[in-house]
Structure 1
Amino acid sequence: MLGLQKFSPAGRSSFRARETLVAAFCQYFERGSHLVTNAPNLALVASRYRHNMCHKLSIEDSARTEIGQIAASISSTIPAAFWMLWHVLSDPLVLAECRREIEQSACFLPRQQPDLDNGEGLGGRRGIEFDRLTKSEFCPILVSTWHEVLRYNHTGIAARMVMEETMLGRYLLKKGSTVVIANPVIHSDTSAWGPSANEFQHQRFVRSQKINRDPTLDLRDTSSEKMTTTMTKSSVKNLEKSTACRIFGGGSTLCPGRYLASQEVLSLVALVVLNFDVFPVHGRWVLPGKNVSLTTALPTPYPLKPSDLDSEILRIQLA
């Protein structure tokens, strides 16, 4: 049945595009481009190829698996990165708290070491422990903001097969049938998330931290010392593990790439907020429109007017 798509007017162009990519990946593997030395970014591609060869897949079959890998790697991660940057940069409070947290918990001053390119010492330039960015014990506000971005913007749906007859309220779910779960409906349920379910609250997922803010804090001054953080016991439930939280799927099936995606996005955010100030050219941030697709977990943004997303980027030097 899947082969019939090549005869469908709607599927013909997609079929040709897929075959073009397959042919390109076949050439890529045949040339050994995935085996280039000193290219750590190719390690994942090379390991997948070795795995496929161990299971007797042909080069063409391996090339076809890469198409699925591309879809999984970028279809939701890229829009997720945009919305994370949007929510952080467009709100001075979120930006100030995330920037300060990254500085305090994930940055370090490396020892003098020879630079690989020119032999010069690092001279006190700061480094980032990227693995800390995804851990709540080090960056609770950053991680909470990330989870809230996914909850607030999630448009994905999930399908599950009913394994045995089940009564759900007054509905009988028969064995073998399919249940479609609309994640945005669950993520906006006030019985699960409270009256603020339809609001973006970047500290919603912070469980064990209380932020004490000085009301005179100038949120444009990211070097201010008026913001303090104290660790306290909290009665906030573990929302990430709640059945109402479907940011990475739910039940027995969770996104296998959730750790890699989180590391990619939060690393990008850390590099941006530590190095740049971003301002809207026209003086205010304008929420972009959203293209919702059944094939992605988050909507793709688009400017309502061509100039809506025009921004000025200034390099900064934090103390």
Structure 2
Amino acid sequence: MHHNIPADDIPRTEVGNIFAITGNTGPAAFWIIYHLYSNPSALESCRDEVSNIIQEDGSIALPWHRDLCSHDSRRPYARRQGGNVDEFYHEHFIRSTHQKRPNPVAFRGFGGGTGLCPGRHFASTEILAFAALMITRFDVRPIGGKWNRPGTDKAALSASVAPPNVDFEVEITPKSIYEWRISCMGSDKAMEIAAEDIVSEK
């Protein structure tokens, strides 16, 4: 109200916020889960990494920002440049002393410049936290036994992350009998999601 938005326009603004909040986070979470479970080596690697935050009593202490994926927040996303651009390569953005670091501009899932998404850190945190909990707590198998990648050609042009054309049916089973407890820890460092985040910390 203090921004002088007419009362009749407030509900319209909130509807727009709903699209901004859910329009890309849902599809992004789907594709991370799909690619991790359909790629045994990626699943094992990420499970090993997440195992470092599981306590002896079965509780999970989730670092709330960059430490959730200690190498790089863009780790779960697909390769964005090179000859195999259509392949999922979960270690593409990991920093290594043995190879040149990929150009950070290669990933623009949250836009850039004046169009850079202001909610990118919140969105990345909730997506990564969801993925970490899923791969820790559950096994996921496709109904029919085969990971057939669904198409995305019917997605709206406005979608930064294209949702699948059809529902993808899976069987989800618990991995253990733990009574899980989740706690979230703070951090004074934001994830390096976009090139602008890296530049701003120099």
What interval of TM-score do these two structures reach, taking the shorter chain for normalisation?
A: 0.7 to 0.9
C-alpha distance in structure 1 between counterparts of 2:64 and 2:20, whole Å: 22
Q: Is the 8 A contact 2:141 2:170 kept in 1?
A: yes
- Give me the TM-score of the superposition, normalised by structure 1: 0.50
Match of 2:155 among 273, 282, 292: 292
Could you tell me which runs of 5 or more consecutive residues in structure 1 were left unpaired when the two chains were aligned: 1-52, 110-123, 153-186, 188-192, 209-232
Equivalents in 2 of 1:198, 1:286: separation in Å?
15
In 2, Cα distance between equivalents of 1:314 and 1:296:
31
Point out the structure with max Rg over C-alpha: 1
Indicate the residue corresponding to 1:270 in structure 2: 132
User: What residue number does 1:126 align with?
Assistant: 59
Report deviation, 1:280. 1.8
User: Which structure shows the higher strand fraction?
Assistant: 1
Instruction: Give how far 1:318 is off.
Output: 8.7
Contact 2:32–2:77 (8 Å) recurs in 1: no
Structure with the greater relative contact order (CA < 8 A, sep ≥ 6): 1 or 2? 2
* Residue 312, structure 1, aligned to residue 171, structure 2: yes
| Separation (CA, whole Å) in 2 of partners of 1:275 and 1:302 | 27
Aligned residues: 177
Structure 2: which 5+ runs fail to align? 179-202
Change (3 A) 1:277 1:72: same
Q: Please say if residues 102 and 270 of structure 1, whose CA atoms lie closer than 8 Å, have aligned partners that are also in contact.
A: yes
1:130–1:263 CA contact under 8 A, matched in 2: no
Runs in 1 of length 4+ with deviation above 3 angstroms?
Answer: 106-109
Q: Is the 8 A contact 2:139 2:172 kept in 1?
A: yes
Structure richer in helix, relative to its length: 1
Structure 2 vs 1, CA of residues 293 and 269 (structure 1 numbering), >3 Å: closer, same or farther? same
Residues 278-317 of structure 1, C-alpha deviations (whole Å, 9 max, x = no match): 11232211111212212211212134xx7xx332211012
User: Alpha-carbon deviations, 1:228-276, whole Å to 9, x = none?
Assistant: xxxxx34322532x3x432221234311111111011111111111110
TM-score, normalization by structure 2: 0.76
The CA deviation at 1:79 is: 0.9
Percent identity, please.
33
Pair 1:295–1:315, CA change in 2 (3 A): same
